[in-house]
Amino acid sequence: MKKAALNVLLITALYGLASSLVREHIHVDKIMTWTKAQQYCRLEYYDLSTISDSAEIKQIVDTGTPPCPSNSGYYVWCLLDKWIGQYTDTPNLPVPVWKWSTGENEALCPWASGEPSSVQNKTCVVTFSKTGVCFNLPCSYNFSFYCMNVYEVVLVQQKKTWQNALDYCRQHYTDLVSLKADNWMKEAVKVTKAAQTAHVWTGLRFLSGQWFWAKGDDLVYQAWSTEGQLQCPATNHRCGALGQSEETWQPRDCEEELNFLCFRKLHQTSASATHINEP
């Protein structure tokens, strides 16, 4: 993650772009040790989850607790706990240093009362799915776990129509951004402050009687302006933009030339396995 964040800063400096990172957490219903879970997440997603604020804790708690396999050797624990990316490789220090699998310098998961305990043989961290508080346990235990995908949201300070912005994002990134949850909206609002236009294009589009995201994401989370979601907007106002000052979505003329928000999925480039003791 440090390398990914550094690359984002370099891109920003070279091309005059503003960007921010968004994490999405996924519960993986497989039972593994912490190290195996880390390897799986780095192969299939980005890494084990980093959870650094109350919004991310809520995101994880809201994913629910699916059933555990009956053959799990830690069935009761499995019902409650999931591995995340927090661990320590300095258990013998008077005050062990806890860190994240990605190397991020982020706030730590909130500890449950009395934790961390017996750090010498409990150097990996699980989160209690019902409340989001954390416990340290032996890394050799088997639990399901949370992986994360990491996305970069980029403000492109060029003025284009909605269709030209879409084409640009698909050529240079992944797509126009889908503001599909509160954390996406929060980061989009942050980078939009550097826009040179009062509104910026998003992937929001109206066709065949409904609004949708160009990327195909579900339109569940919504942040329309006070006039609300227009069920039948004017013919030329069928593209969705984010207002820089209002911080809401608005239908705009698709031929209007605005700055726009692209996004792309980041990938680990040279992450090495974390060496911890799993007796």
CA 250/CA 53 separation, integer angstroms? 29
DSSP 170-227: HHHSSEEPP--SHHHHHHHHHHHTT-SSSEEEEEEEEETTEEEETT-----S--B-TT
Q: Per the structure block, which two tokens stand in for 182?
A: 């509160």
pLDDT tens-digit map of 142-189: 999 999 999 999 999 999 999 999 999 999 999 999 999 889 999 999
Instruction: Domain 161-265: give its CATH superfamily.
Output: Mannose-Binding Protein A, subunit A (3.10.100.10)
DSSP 18-50: EEEEEEEEEEEEEEE-HHHHHHHHHHHSSEEPP
What does the domain layout of the chain look like in residue ranges? 25-148, 161-265
pLDDT classification of 64: cutoffs 50, 70, 90? low
pLDDT average, residue stretch 23-35: 93
- What is the separation of C-alpha 10 from the centre of its chain, rounded to a whole number of angstroms? 21
pLDDT tens-digit map of 116-152: 988 878 899 988 766 778 999 999 999 999 999 999 9
Q: What is the pLDDT of residue 108?
A: 86
- Bridging pattern class, strands 47-48 and 239-243: unpaired
For the chain, how many helices (H) and strands (E)? Answer: 6, 13
Q: In this structure, which long-range contacts are made by residues 103-108, counting pairs with CB atoms below 8 Å and at least 24 apart in sequence?
A: 103/1, 103/2, 104/1, 104/2, 104/5, 104/50, 104/52, 106/50, 106/52, 107/52, 107/53, 108/52, 108/134
CATH assignment of 25-148, among 3.90.1150.10, 3.40.50.300, 3.10.100.10, 3.90.550.10? 3.10.100.10
Note if the pTM is more than 0.85. no
Computed over its alpha carbons, how large is the radius of gyration of the chain? 21
Mean model confidence pLDDT for the chain: 84
Burial of 120 (0-12, 13-18, 19+ CB in 10 A): exposed
Do the domains 25-148 and 161-265 sit in the same CATH topology, yes or no?
yes
Whether the CB-CB separation of 123 and 91 falls below 8 Å is answered with yes
